[in-house]
């Protein structure tokens, strides 16, 4: 599953499709937890000192306008989920499928397009795997 996220971030579509087919046959157990951990770390990387509501709104607007699949994403849900990653006291009541889509888009927007070095991506994915194993 780590390799799947890595290929998603690096844009290796052929390998991503191959891994996705394998996961489809073997099962995706644990993936939502791992995706949530990567999402949290990506948001923390993007907003290391936190963010006000206006910053999150601008980020979501840019993400929706520049990321494939972004325009179809509900801005209010995306803002709420990102704010909850920044402030754990914020409750979210977002459908898990919608949350997963937002998490994936946020990860792509924050880490994709060579925005992160291979070494830093490896470190982030290792940290996410450790975090997910404790949840």
Portion of the chain with pLDDT greater than 70, in percent? 100
Instruction: Give the residue numbers spanning the domain of 99.
Output: 32-133
17-43 confidence digits (pLDDT tens): 999 999 999 999 999 999 999 999 999
Q: Residue 121 domain-assigned?
A: yes
What pLDDT score was predicted for residue 91?
87
What is the DSSP secondary-structure string of 14-30? HHHHHHHHHHHHH--TT
CB atoms within 10 A of CB 13: 10
Over residues 82-104, mean pLDDT: 93
What pLDDT score was predicted for residue 88?
87
Q: What is the pTM (predicted TM-score) of this model? A: 0.92
Q: Residue 115 domain-assigned?
A: yes
Q: Residue 4 domain-assigned?
A: no
Domain count, the chain: 1
CB atoms within 10 A of CB 2: 15
């Amino acid at each position: 599953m780590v390799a799947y996220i890595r290929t998603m971030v690096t844009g290796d579509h052929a390998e991503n499709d191959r891994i996705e087919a394998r996961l489809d046959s073997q099962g995706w157990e644990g993936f939502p937890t791992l995706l949530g951990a990567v999402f949290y770390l990506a948001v923390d990387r993007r907003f290391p000192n936190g963010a006000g509501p206006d910053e999150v709104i601008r980020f979501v607007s840019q993400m929706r306008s520049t990321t494939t699949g972004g325009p179809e994403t509900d801005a209010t849900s995306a803002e709420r989920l990102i704010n909850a990653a920044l402030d754990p006291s914020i409750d979210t009541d977002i459908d898990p499928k919608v949350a997963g889509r937002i998490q994936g888009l946020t990860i792509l927007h924050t880490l994709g397009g060579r925005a992160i070095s291979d070494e830093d991506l490896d470190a982030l994915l290792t940290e996410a795997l450790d975090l997910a194993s404790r949840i």
